[in-house]
Amino acid sequence: MVATMDKGAKKEILLSLFMFTADLRPNDRAYTQTLIDHIKALLAMGYDGFDLPIAAQQMDDHQAEIDSYARFRQALDAAGLETVRFTTNVGTTRTFDPTSPFREQREGALAYLKSRVDITSILGGKTVMAGPIVFPYGVFPTLDSGTPLWSDALQDWLEPRYKLARPIIEELASYAEKRAVKLAIEPVDHWETPAPNMVSDVLGFLEGVASSQAGLTIDSAHVVLGSSGPAAYQADLRTTVAQRRLNYIHISAPDRGALRDSWIPWESFLAPILPVYDGPFLIEVFNAIPAFLGGLHLTRRKFWIPGEDQPVAGRPSAYDVARDGLETVREEFAKLKYLSAL
């Protein structure tokens, strides 16, 4: 049976802190205060919560990281933010790779991902950890000669790697369930990462993972830029819901920038989701900060950040883009509610 959502229920709308940073720098007290200032300003606009990027680290001392985020959480609480909704964004790395052919490296990846679940639990309580947590983000395979693998050769290379990763994600899901954290594996576009690229890719991977605690993120940008169309999207969504794996929805423009007047097919994307999903919706804008320039090949100008950058006359600030994005999403929700009542 497919779950149905109360049409009158308030929809939680969160903002990704990718608007400002890819690293919370939890040991930097001054920067923690800067983020608190941003969060308070955005709450005043009407946001219900925030997605926190947990930066990748190459260190093995995960406990030290966990402790640093616990202190960060204490600072949020002390600032009066103890009831704000927080989710997290996490990615695997070349070092911490669940798909590695080497058992010790896969075990290291599992320890790394468990530490991210712990951090997520500390920051958000009963919440969601989303992101590319199967294949390392942005790491494309090559032969020993340096020749990259594409198309059929890439797909043949991927399958045994998926098989190796399944027990890791299964154990991670069990660990996350005990901490009330849902996993939301995110398919990401093929020019950003080799796999998984589409919702169907994640569903295929999860056929070998019994726990529905391991589910999916569905992101409008990746759906629009993927190689399949609306019919496949709706079919994959039905399968995801039937398996109780729809754990997060991201709303992002195809260029990962401002939402207002972007090429998001609002009705096609949201209309099938609203009746079956009652979780948070995340507005995800990747600002043109140094961390994203090369990986996303950003050519647009930065949205200047109040309190950090000098104001730029005639150009929108990060706050302007955040405010417009929230208004746009609310308008689209209202339109779809009206259409559903006709």
Question: What's the pLDDT tens digit per position in 126-183?
Answer: 999 999 999 999 999 999 999 999 999 999 999 999 999 999 999 999 999 999 999 9
User: Tell me, what's the pLDDT at 273?
Assistant: 97
Identity of residue 332 = E
pLDDT of residue 1: 35
Low pLDDT (below 50) residues in the chain: 1-3, 5, 342
- Specify the pLDDT at position 337: 85
Note the pLDDT of residue 227: 80
Residue 6 is predicted with a pLDDT of 54
Q: Angle 151-178/103-124 helices, nearest 10 degrees?
A: 50
Spatial distance between the Cα atoms of 219 and 281, rounded to a whole number of angstroms: 10
- Residue 156: Cβ-neighbour burial (10 angstroms; 0-12, 13-18, 19+): exposed
Q: With b meaning 16 or more CB within 10 Å and e meaning fewer, what string describes 54-82? A: bebbeeeebeebbebbeebbeebeebebe
* Per-residue model confidence (pLDDT) at position 8: 57
Q: Would you say 308 and 34 are in contact if contact means Cβ atoms under 8 Å apart?
A: yes
pLDDT of residue 228: 87
CB of 98 closer than 8 Å to CB of 109:
yes
pLDDT of residue 290: 97
- Can you give the pLDDT at residue 133? 98
pLDDT at position 9: 73
Give the DSSP H/E element, type plus range, for residue 248.
strand 246-251
Domains, in order of start, for the chain: 13-340 (3.20.20.150)
**Residue 194 contacts residue 227 (beta carbons within 8 Å):** no
| Token pair for 250 | 């991201």
